[in-house]
Amino acid sequence: MTSRDELAADDSITTLQVIWLEPPPGQRGFPLDHPYVELVYTPLVGASAVLFLRRIVLLARSDSGLEVDGAILARELGLRFRDDRPLGRNSPFVKALSRLEHYHLARWLGPHRLGVYRRAGAVADEHLGRLPESARRIHDRYLQTEM
C-alpha cells in the first residue's frame, strides 16, 4: 500500500489513475455526489477533497475508472495556479487526496493510482466529535431517513 508520504520528489504525480472500489460488503452509503458527502464530510476532508470526488464522478465514463492529468485537474479545482510540473507529496492536491484516504473514502493503490470508493459510508462514530454541531445534526437526519 502506498501513502502520500511514500511519494518521493522523483516519483511525483503527473498522471493519476483513478480506480473505482466497491464499498466493504454490507456497508450502505451515499453516492459521492449526494448532499450527505458535501454537508457532512466537508468539515473533515475539506472542500477541495469533496470537489475532487464530485469532479471524478462527472469525468468517469466507465465502470473501470479513469486517468487524469493531475496538474490540470489540480488547476481546475483551484489547487494549483502556475505551471504543469508534476505534483509532489506536499502539494495541496495530493494532501486533499490523502485526507480522502484517512477518512476511508479512497485508498492509495500505488504512487499514481488512487482507488475511490463508489459510495461514501456514514462518518464513523470515532470522527463525529470532529464535526460541527450542524454537520452532526445532518448526519443523524440522513442516517434516520436513508440508511
Helices 47-59 and 92-102, packing angle to 10 deg: 90
Residues 70/16, Cβ–Cβ less than 8 Å: yes
Q: Which residue would you say has higher pLDDT here, 8 or 68?
A: 68
Give me the percent of the chain exceeding a pLDDT of 90: 56
For the chain, the average pLDDT equals: 86
- Assess whether pLDDT exceeds 80 at residue 7: no
Rounded-to-integer distance, Cα 76 and Cα 111, Å: 21
Among 20, 44, 43, 17, which Cα is nearest to 32's? 20
Among 34, 15, 27, 25, which Cα is nearest to 112's? 15
- Assess whether pLDDT exceeds 90 at residue 25: no
C-alpha cell at 43: 468539515
Q: What is the pLDDT of residues 73-120, one digit of tens each?
A: 888 888 876 666 656 777 888 899 999 999 999 999 988 899 999 999
- What pLDDT sits at residue 62? 74
- How many residues does the structure list for the chain? 147
- Assess whether pLDDT exceeds 90 at residue 54: yes
pTM score:
0.85
